[in-house]
Amino acid sequence: MLIGRLDSRIVNCNTSLQKAREQMTDLRKVDINLIVVLDAILAEKNLTRAGDVVGMTQPSVSGALARLRQQFDDPLLVRAGRGFELTPKARELQPLVDEAMGEISRIYDLSPTFDASSSTRTFLISASDYLLSQLTGPLLRLLEQAAPLISIEFDALPADTNVTPNDLLRRDVIISGTGRGVPGKRQSLFSDRFVCIVDEGNERLTGGKLSITDLQEMRHVRSFFGDAVQTHVDDMLSAAGIAPRIAMSVQGFLPVPHTVSGTQFVGFVPERLSTQSAATLGLVIAETELQGGTLIEAAHWHPSKNGDPAIKWLVKMLRDASEVVEFGDGGLDLGEG
């Protein structure tokens, strides 16, 4: 009986290995341009959005998908309700496509030298609304002096999911709080702490303080970054045994002070944001018994780009801009380093 089970496991293992070899062989037959399109289709599960990612029209992506379906003898993407979902074959291909995209990036994106003063490169950076509100100004002022021909495009953090290696491949840098499970290489930028904000006329506020009972019973304005994303504030409240009563969910941190102002709601935001908005919105920072809640923002990039001197330079510029956020811009060295 035991020998029979072992034989069965060996057969299953050999079958899995053979299947993986066949998939890798299939992938090697595919045109590199099709691999890029396949990567976008697997990530976006939508032909229009996949086209936006790779710079192709929807009909062109549809044509590429037809070739991929023929190559793999599988539909890859099928309709499910109002949307689409990946077939089991497509899901099996995802890790192999991730690996292939990493190799493509290493081969084509890596330049041996980088001269910031003459480069016309455009970098793509994803970050939260709060990070952009603090870092964009200092960063652009630094670039204007050190690299006047370089452009920066900003977009929001990937929505409704945690950051994946695919997300890192499509961007030069993603800036996100540490502890969120973002893969790849990283460099810490600056820190902040979360504070509790309420309207200055909030009836629960006593001597500038809110109790745990207050926080349990009050209605909260929650910063939302996706169904699968647990924030530092979520962790902080959970650690205190608080299941917040959600009055409203808003995208990011910037809307929270505006939503709390003039209400009996409570919210949590990074301290810099609270001090910048408190006076104009009539808010106060309430003392609480909550522990923790430190936000450390970090730049993340795909390991395949680790040797790219342009990425190294960009990360240094982000560090320099972060020093302005932390300490002001007095005496900052603008050299390329």
Helix (H, G, I), strand (E, B) or coil at 271: helix
Residue that wins the pLDDT comparison between 8 and 114 = 114
Question: What is the DSSP secondary structure assignment for residue 269, as one 8-state letter?
Answer: E
Grouping H, G, I as helix, E, B as strand and the rest as coil, residue 318 is helix
Give the mean pLDDT of 66-88: 90
Q: How far is CA 333 from the centre of its chain?
A: 29
Give the mean pLDDT of the chain.
Answer: 84
CATH classification code of 2-108: 1.10.10.10
Two tokens, residue 301 = 């990039």
Torsion of CA 100, 101, 107, 112, to 10 degrees: -140
- Could you tell me the pLDDT band of residue 4, with boundaries at 50, 70 and 90? very low
The predicted model gives 232-247 an average pLDDT of 94
Grouping H, G, I as helix, E, B as strand and the rest as coil, residue 190 is strand
Greater pLDDT, 172 or 225: 172
pLDDT at position 21, please? 46
* H or E element at residue 107: helix 88-108
CATH topology of domain 119-337: D-Maltodextrin-Binding Protein; domain 2 (3.40.190)
Q: Which helix (H) or strand (E) holds 222?
A: strand 219-224
More confident residue, 31 or 69: 69
Q: What is the mean pLDDT of residues 126-152?
A: 94
Contact 315, 128 (CB under 8 A): no
pLDDT, mean of residues 118-129: 92
For the stretch 297-333, pLDDT in tens is 999 998 878 888 999 999 999 999 999 999 876 545 5
Taking a C-beta distance cutoff of 8 angstroms, is the pair 260, 285 a contact? Answer: no
Distance, CA of 209 to CA of 143 (rounded, Å): 43
Count the Cβ atoms, other than its own, within 10 Å of residue 144.
Answer: 11
Task: Give the C-alpha distances (Å, rounded to integers) separating 123 from 54, 186, 315.
Answer: 15, 17, 11
- Rounded alpha-carbon distances, angstroms, from residue 22 to 58, 66, 72, 101, 213: 30, 20, 10, 18, 60
Looking at the whole model, is its pTM more than 0.75? no
pLDDT of residue 116: 94
Strand partners, 285: 197
In the chain, CATH 1.10.10.10 covers: 2-108
The pLDDT score that the predictor gives to residue 334 is 45
**Which residue reads 């396949």 in tokens?**
38
Using an 8 Å Cβ cutoff, are 175 and 126 in contact? yes
For residue 201, the tally of other CB atoms under 10 A from its CB is 11
In the chain, the largest separation of any two C-alpha atoms, in whole Å, equals 76
3-state helix, strand, coil in the chain (%, to 5): 50, 20, 30
The DSSP bridge partners found for residue 191 are 296
300 beta partners: 174, 186
Residue 69 has pLDDT above 60, yes or no: yes
User: In the prediction, which pLDDT does 9 show?
Assistant: 44
Residue ranges, comma separated, of all CATH 3.40.190.290 domains in the chain are 119-337
What whole-number distance in Å separates Cα of residue 52 and Cα of residue 204? 48
What pLDDT, on a 0 to 100 scale, did the predictor assign at position 24?
46
CA 164 to chain centre: 8
Q: Which residues of 97-110 are buried (b: 16+ CB within 10 A; e: fewer)?
A: bbebbbebbbeeee
Cα separation, 96 vs 103, in Å, equals 11
